[in-house]
Amino acid sequence: MSILQFPRSRELTLRIDRIACEGHGACAELLPELLTLDEWGYPVVHSATVPADLTAHARRAVAACPVLALRLDPGSR
């Protein structure tokens, strides 16, 4: 008996918890390709899907968030 394995999507989605976010701006400094800051200093996601070549930068931005408001979720299949 064998188990069928389906390839998992390696695509990641960038998410911001807008309630937890305090507008420190570290995420936009570390990931300017996907994030900018609005006029109040809060991040704006320009593309929620993280390209493979930016995955390491996105992980650093998530780790640098002092209030854990930024996260990476697995993309949908």
- Per-residue pLDDT of 6-47, as tens digits, reads 445 578 999 999 999 999 999 999 999 999 999 999 999 988
Q: What's CA 28's distance to the chain center, in Å?
A: 11
- Please report, for residues 23, 33, 60, the alpha-carbon distance to residue 42 in angstroms, rounded to integers and kept in the order given: 4, 16, 18
The conformation of residue 25, written as its DSSP 8-state character, comes to: -
If DSSP codes are grouped into helix, strand and coil, which group holds residue 45?
strand
pLDDT band, very low/low/confident/very high, at 53 (cuts 50, 70, 90): very high
- Pairing relation of β-strands 43-45 and 70-74? unpaired
pTM of the shown model: 0.79
Indicate the residue type of 53: D
Please determine, for residue 76, whether its predicted confidence score (pLDDT) is greater than 70.
no
50 in Cβ contact with 14 (< 8 Å) = yes
The more confident residue out of 51 and 75 is 51
If DSSP codes are grouped into helix, strand and coil, which group holds residue 66?
coil
